[in-house]
């Protein structure tokens, strides 16, 4: 039987890697916050039921969460 060892993952601590991690973390936090925030805003402003509010807010919530989270991630990883 042939056994192959998988080499350990090498952690690169470069500026690009830190920026990429910060952007991914920002997007992962921003997406749910954007969707929930937009759904609640549409729900309170329009008076629609919860499902219709979610259906109305899904695209703007995804865009707000992805772009906003990515922007926050980039700004947090910037050095002076």
- Please count the structural domains in the chain: 1
Q: Is residue 57 part of a domain?
A: yes
- Domain extent at residue 55: 30-77
Mean pLDDT (the chain, rounded): 86
Please check the confidence at residue 23 and state whether its pLDDT lies above 80: yes
Percent of the chain with pLDDT over 90: 49
Q: Is residue 4 part of a domain?
A: no
Please check the confidence at residue 50 and state whether its pLDDT lies above 70: yes
Q: Is residue 25 part of a domain?
A: no
Q: Is residue 24 part of a domain?
A: no
How large is the average pLDDT for residues 8-26?
Answer: 80
**pLDDT (0 to 100) of residue 44:** 94
Written in H, E and C, the secondary structure of 3-69 is CCCCCCCCCCCCHHHHHHHHHHHHHHHHHHHHHHHHHHHHHHHHCCCHHHHHHHHHHHHHHHHHHHH
Q: Is residue 36 part of a domain?
A: yes
Q: Is residue 15 part of a domain?
A: no
Q: Is residue 17 part of a domain?
A: no
Q: Is residue 7 part of a domain?
A: no
**pLDDT (0 to 100) of residue 13:** 76
């Amino acid at each position: 039987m042939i056994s192959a060892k998988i080499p350990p993952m090498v952690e690169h601590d470069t500026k690009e890697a830190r920026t990429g991690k910060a952007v991914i973390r920002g997007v992962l936090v921003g997406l749910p916050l954007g969707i929930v925030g937009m759904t609640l805003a549409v729900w309170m402003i329009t008076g629609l039921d919860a499902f219709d509010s979610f259906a109305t807010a899904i695209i703007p919530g995804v865009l707000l969460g992805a772009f906003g989270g990515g922007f926050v991630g980039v700004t947090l990883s910037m050095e002076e």
